[in-house]
Structure 1
Amino acid sequence: MTPGLLGALLAALAYGAATVLQAVGVRRAGALPVGTPLFARVRAGWPYAAGLALDGLGFLASVAALRTLPLFLVESAVAASIAVTAVLSVLVLHVRLGATEVVALVAIGAGLTGLALTAAEGPAVRPGPSAPWWLLAAAALVGALLVIGAVDRDRGRGAVVLSIAAGLGFGGVGVAARLLEVPSPVWALATDATAWALVGHAALATVAYGLALSRGRVTTVAALTFATETVVPAVIGLVALGDHVVSGHAPAAGVAFAVTLGGCIALAGRAEPTGPATPSDGVQTTPPARQDVSQQP
């Protein structure tokens, strides 16, 4: 396994495990009686902090993977972290997966395998000195969508706009990471426009995703965000950054990408907040990455 593929796999594992740890931390802290001292709450919720650390590790791993792997593969692997969450939720949170979720898990595994076999490794093509400014302009667009969605009085429509903003923001993080060149000395990043674009996209996407979850259904928000953050960077990589597949394998790569994305959206579309199953729930499922904490009371 190449270092790039190893980084993509590590990112998926880290993001998926982080979601489960954060869910466990919130459950433990939420189960404490009213009036529990702050220190006791922090101690009980330590898995949440561990989950945040894993999120950081996952981000670094994805950035490392993007040094040599195309966006369509790395972004698909990051989206597939929901499959890791699903499997770990069965083992740790004792949730049950229905037939649809099992099929989606198999599809994600098969799709990622196909992408790994067909993706051509190599650094991104530098599109020119204006690329960082285009990234900053894209961040401004995400910010505008964030404001539009936040002030929209129609909560459902606002949630859709915010979900798309979150997907574009998370996708912008991937594109910026693909283009980012780490200078020497490293603190020169403080004046790097691409680095600032990456930070801006990350911050805006996180806020947009949280607001979207507070306004719309988890299933809609997760599916729209997953689709946007996976498809848009993949297209940009293929069109502008020189990402490509092994010669003669474009149809197979297209099918693998569609199968992976479909599996991720299927899992997201079946997701509900974690919690004890009720008779009306039927089968309890696991939440998609990035949303578990927002759904807790």
Structure 2
Amino acid sequence: MSALPSDVTWVQRARAGWLYAVGLIVDGVGFLASIVALQQLPLFLVQAFVASAVAVTAALAVPALGIKLSRKEIAAIGAIAFGLILLAISAAEGEARRVSSNFEWTLLGCGIALGLLLTIGLLDRSANRSCIVLATTSGLGFGVVALAARVLEVRDPWWSTLASPALWAIVAAGAVALVAYGFALDRGRATTVAAITSAVETIIPAGVGLIVLGDEFRSGFAPVAVVGFVVTLGACFVLAARAEVE
């Protein structure tokens, strides 16, 4: 979009960016799917799948952009698939442990507080430091979204769910995360932004899920899950380099 002449109209810009709009719609569908998945699946599994989207991006870059993947990157995609299989067979399905409303209000407070961290990152004149702060803010925001989605209870009637603090935590933290991610990409290397955001949004919610929300492994599969988690996340970092524009 930035490559277009400055005198083009917004309609022309919209037409030129239709593929970007399609991408946003697909991202939105994936986001909603992850929220639904978190109702029954542990955070360490769902967040690992979310982080592994970089593998899909790298694979699609081959036919779409004519990029040739190196052996290291092909091995990383295979490692992600292997790690996700280990996580899938080791995760115990089930709803999150019931938490008090205080936990949901805390998540909402965190989502709002992240707005302050976003402001700090935007006002920082150091591009490198600003990038790190904004990428971390984005990861924390997406992490809060995941935690809120895990504890969100769809009430009967459904419209009464609008009063849930967890729902508004998803809205607040999600908005901050998206804005922070966009500005982080504008101020730093895409590789750095992708790596920091993926690490924060995956590791922190997974830990909280295991400690606070009662996420569990299948009996005897804890070591398998740990190996799968480490392999998946490590391979994602390798593929994050594909986000860098040459």
Distance in structure 1 (CA, Å) of the matches to 2:97 and 2:58: 36
CA deviation after TM superposition for structure 1 residue 131, in Å: 1.1
Whether 1:124 aligns to 2:96 is yes
> 3-state SS of the aligned residue for 1:246?
coil
- Once superposed, which parts of structure 1, at least 4 consecutive aligned residues long, lie more than 4 Å away? 32-41
Residue 143 of structure 1 pairs with residue 118 of structure 2: no
2 CA distance for matches of 1:38 and 1:142?
32
Alignment of 1:202-217 (within 5 A): 202-217=174-189
Equivalent residue, structure 2, for 1:85? 57
Structure-1 separation of matches of 2:22 and 2:119: 32
Report the TM-score, using the length of structure 2 for normalisation: 0.93
- Which gives a bigger RCO, structure 1 or 2 (Cα 8 Å, sep 6+)? 2
Q: How big is each residue's C-alpha offset from its partner over 1:32-72, in whole Å with a ceiling of 9 and x where there is no partner?
A: 67755654543343222222221121112111111110000
CA separation of 1:140 and 1:113: change in aligned 2, threshold 3 A: same
Deviations 1:98-135 (A, max 9, x none): 22211211111110010001000000001212111110
Q: How many residues align?
A: 246
TM-score by length of 1: 0.78
CA change 1:162–1:267 in 2 (3 A) is same
Corresponding residue for 2:172?
A: 200
CA distance in 2, matches of 1:108, 1:166: 23
The reply on whether 1:185 has 2:186 as its aligned counterpart is no
Instruction: Name the amino acid aligned to 1:183.
Output: R
SS in 2 for 1:130: helix
Residue equivalent to 1:42: 14
Q: Which amino acid aligns with 1:150?
A: L
Kept in 1: contact 2:83–2:232 (CA 8 A): yes
SS of the counterpart of 2:140? helix
1:96 aligns with 2:68: yes
Query: SS at the partner of 2:233?
Result: helix
Question: C-alpha displacement at 1:262, in angstroms?
Answer: 0.4
Structure 1 pair 271–99 and aligned structure 2 pair: CA distance change class (3 A): farther
Structure 1 unmatched runs, 5+: 1-25, 274-280, 282-297
Percent identity, aligned pairs only?
50
- Is residue 213 of structure 2 the alignment partner of residue 241 of structure 1? yes
